[in-house]
Structure 1
């Protein structure tokens, strides 16, 4: 399987997944601190962090849909669909949390919404695990080029005098 969306040979979606998931984790930490008696500003920071995560989730899901076109109909396709669905379910849970917080006078979080955020993170963690297994399965260049010979085979040529004697 070769992803259509690539940057320097690496698929974009696994890179994009880290952004919303990291933002969801940060938002949950801010909200947990707010619920445990931290400064009230942390609830608002948590709210806006969720908003940023939702925006980045849209980009991630879009990249996932583009990549899904190239996956052959087999077990791998089911894994890719499950990966994308879990990430979408996580985002939907956070949409509900965000909407519930928007309806109140302050964007702080309640205990019930914090539990919903934690459930979303658990679902997202399973999605990230599936994504890691997919990357390991399809990564054709599992490591960085460790030698100049590897660089030469990857890029075609190495400039003369760049770390090794000139060719004769």
Structure 2
């Protein structure tokens, strides 16, 4: 290890940034800024066993929404505007990360995003992308992997596969 390696790089845990505002996980259990997209898993409003993988691509603002088994969302065939799943995803991303961070990531100009009044709807209204199919499997797999971590029993001994997992209070 060289002298330039920072303290957080020498640890197997990093500090978790808490959500900007509390979120309810029932509608959007998983949201992330990753792979050049705002992406996540959104629960179906009509079928408790169905979820949608929805995403907005940074820069182009292309959007995608399909079931976890890659069937397109029924509200997107026209391609004229994002479906309700995409609106829910944007709203939850704003709660999780704050509108300024999400807007920067997606390269969206929503005016004065620091004013606290901008919402997920403002974010979606500021984009003019088109439907573009994005792979759902990667996002859904990552969501399932995160769910598996919730199933691990409480323990004080190290768990090798969790050595990278963020820990609250690390780095303080």
Mark yes or no: TM-score above 0.5: no
Higher Rg: 1
TM-score by length of 2: 0.30
Which structure is richer in relative contact order (CA contacts within 8 A, separation 6 or more)? Answer: 2
TM-score by length of 1: 0.31
Name whichever structure is richer in strand by fraction: 2
